[in-house]
Chain A
Amino acid sequence: MTAKVITVKCDDFDGDASHDGGVMSVRVTGTADYAAVDALEQFLDEVHDESMRSNVKQTTVDLRQLEFMNSSCFKCLISWITILQELPPSAQYKVMFISNPKMHWQKRSLHSLRCFAEDLISVSE
């Protein structure tokens, strides 16, 4: 059974998250710019809390319909991954980002993110 757990909507930015079988599936769409920073930060906090509560082993983040992410929103991802890094290894979950090869900024930003936490993050198209 799939549990719908979290949604976010702010101007041109939308997100939702649900988990099933030990995997949390997150999808974000639109534009993650200045207007979306607070909403994204809260959304990721809730995704993390639910991932921990549900003892998921992997979270996928689908960025394929995300047109752009500014540095403030990118920092929200960094902060989330930092919290994850500081957990004991047994409590950590892996994060896989699904990117859109036509959105060229994603390749560069996800490379930065992967270098930040190679042991936790993977990227697929």
Chain B
Amino acid sequence: MGALAGNAYVELNFRPNVQLVSVVRRFVSEFYQRTLGDPDGSSRVALATHELLENAVKYSKDGETTIRIEISTTGAPREVTIMLRNRAEESHIAAISAIVDGVAAAKDAFAYYQQLLHAKAKHREGSGLGLARICAEGEMKIAYTVNDDTVELLATTHVAEAT
């Protein structure tokens, strides 16, 4: 954890297992609460962190995952950026593309999420909801880049100053 050029950040490079995701969420929740102050904003980005991490842990090709969380501490509202990078199978990268592109094309992230809830309600395997939930309930924007078999997800949002 540290501060560079006015920004606070935390970066973890680790080989997580799924049991550790909630541990990491609690750790970064404390970081968010102390840095952002705003309880609702902290909750939004903690939810996003959990969903992104679980996604990476479940689908990482080699188990390695890098997460970097950065919060601009100057100006208001503050920008929070969560970057997650891991190697993934082609099918998983395609699934990420479908969801992220779907949300981006939709005029309303919440309406898109509701459509997805109806579509996925009877699917037994996986939820397929995590990324859309980040956009709808977490009010975050998601983008991705792919380089060979490495996918990098970038989730961003603004959090108001705590009153």
Please tell me the size bucket of the interface on A: 20 to 34
Q: What are 13 of the A-B contact pairs (CB < 8 Å)?
A: A33-B18, A33-B54, A34-B54, A70-B50, A70-B51, A75-B120, A79-B121, A104-B39, A104-B43, A104-B44, A112-B117, A112-B133, A116-B114
B130 at interface by CB-CB < 8 Å: yes
- Report the bound CA distance from A24 to B44 in whole Å: 31
Residues in B with CB closer than 8 Å to A116 are: 114, 117-118
Q: Are B25 and A71 in contact (CB under 8 A)?
A: no
- Report the bound CA distance from A109 to B113 in whole Å: 11
- Report the bound CA distance from A33 to B47 in whole Å: 11
- Report the bound CA distance from A79 to B54 in whole Å: 21
Instruction: Give the shortest distance, in Å, between A81 (CB) and chain B (any CB).
Output: 8
Please tell me the size bucket of the interface on B: 20 to 34
Contact with A along B120-147 (1 / 0, CB 8 A): 1110001101100100111000000000
- Report the bound CA distance from A104 to B42 in whole Å: 9
Question: Which of B44, B120, B127 has the most chain A CB atoms closer than 10 A to its own CB?
Answer: B127
Of A12, A74, A82, A104, which one neighbours B127 at CB under 8 angstroms?
A74
Given contacts A104-B39, A105-B137, contact A75 B54 (CB under 8 A): no
B30 at interface by CB-CB < 8 Å: no
Instruction: Give the shortest distance, in Å, between A86 (CB) and chain B (any CB).
Output: 10
Question: Which of A11, A31, A70, A103 has the most chain B CB atoms closer than 10 A to its own CB?
Answer: A70
Q: Are A33 and B21 in contact (CB under 8 A)?
A: yes
Residues in A with CB closer than 8 Å to B122 are: 79, 82
Contact with B along A49-71 (1 / 0, CB 8 A): 00000000000000000001011
Inter-chain pairs besides A75-B117, A116-B117, 14 sampled, C-beta below 8 Å: A33-B54, A34-B21, A34-B58, A35-B18, A68-B50, A71-B129, A72-B127, A74-B129, A103-B43, A104-B39, A104-B42, A104-B43, A104-B44, A112-B110
